[in-house]
Structure 1
Amino acid sequence: MELFILKVSIYETYHCGAVTSVGAWNPSSQSYVSIYHGLPTVITKSRIFEPQIEKLDFKSNRLRIDIDCSAARSWCEIDAVKISGQRISLPPIPINSLSSDMRKLINSDVFSDVCFLVEKRRILAHKAILVSRSDYFMAMFSHNMKESKMEEIVIEDVEHDTFLSLLEYIYTGELTCSPVVTVDLLKLADMFSMDDLKVICMSRIPDHLSVDTVLAVLSAVSKGDSLMAIRELCYEFIAQNYAEVTKSEDFLSLPKEELIEIVQLTASKIKL
């Protein structure tokens, strides 16, 4: 049976590694087309060799396998060869474009039906998407709440970039914001009762802490009392990278209480 060849399995039993090329028979051209080429090597144990082969646009059921036993300085043995493939040629599975398609709707006027005013700047959105992803927005647009009838909904005490990051997560399930915005987004997720987003923010912050970002993150965290775990993580990072972090002018701008706590934590790690 002729197949569109996807995989070739070669059972080498003695002085393995001698296969240098594999060709597939092309019925149209009446010749072998190379699908693999390599150099001989020596492998002491028997193996099933499955080389990375070139994709073919024709069916075949015949192979030509060339071997070079010079590396082994002896004879080589192949006991069996298996061809795996499919009877029809299928196109590659398309990449899921849902998140990229949804991203295009963020702050887009395409069928938008709600407008938020954040830092005096308009942000357009879609109620159906918001309410399907957040109980907060479901409540906002239900039960005759005043927001459901407003042309523009004012969002207080939230930065423009942070609210856009919130919409990014609601629309796409992804986050691309900076560590500092992630901290602010964590507060917003807490305010909007989005527990899944809170977990994602908490998991991202440690991986994005650096000498250049830790003070900004600490400053953002210090504005609230509900993020003690992140604050302590920043203290620990500064203590471990004290020499580099303290070169920043922003370090001396930290509140006195925080400076004392950082210095004490750093001193406790010094081995005498």
Structure 2
Amino acid sequence: MEDERMNRAPGSRKQLSLRCLSCREEYCSTDAGTCKECYEEASETEEELKSEIEDLKAKVAFLRLGSSPLDSHKRSSSIGFSDVVLVASDEFHSNPVSLLAHKAVLASRSPVFKAMLEIEMEESRSGTISISDVSYDALRAFVNYLYTAEACLDEQLACDLLVLAEKYEVKHLKMYCEKFLVSKLNGDNSVASYSFAHQYNANHLLQSALSMIIEDMDNLTKSEEYTHLVEKDPRLVVEIYEAYLSKQTNTAARSD
């Protein structure tokens, strides 16, 4: 009891010993609550939860059906939002393969599909939309995502879906694929990812790949992907070096 009173006495050289509400370990501080480690962990968890909530809100917004021409008296009755057939060209099949979908879903998810199906275009009249240069598996995953906002990705499928998302302006899918591809970035694929991201306006992937390239500039010219990039699109090589020099300049300015 005497030791405890000494701990609590004003001006005592000993700090107040507290027990963390989270981990139950003792720590010394003038503030009650949690220890520093648990506080930092809780802050990180809070940020992760906020991110998950934002992702869920975006998913709900994506899956919500928007206004359909079925509800508009201004549309011709000949443009009914019934079933539609999506036809894919697949190099592994001699004949085109197709999938059934609903026009209302396609129009709600993609402004490109919406335009095709609302306006008197061939796709609207025939009820068939031809999608070239896509495999059946990629098309099936694409249509499934339009209905569920979910996909079981690998790197190749993520690239294929990102291409379709860019073509048909499905922003939610594009962000989903970019996030996955960023998680798979490494020293071996950063240059190829940078080139791919540049081609399909994937800005998040582009900046992440560029940052990784700049951090490992000493090994850039040693990679086979770099050689291919020099031959294929030397303009991107110039952009990489410009970004690297800009970073070096900014670093030098801050050190001064």
TM-score interval, normalised by the smaller of the two chains: 0.3 to 0.5
Greater fraction strand: 1
Greater fraction helix: 2
TM-score, with length taken from structure 1: 0.45
Mark the structure with the bigger radius of gyration: 1
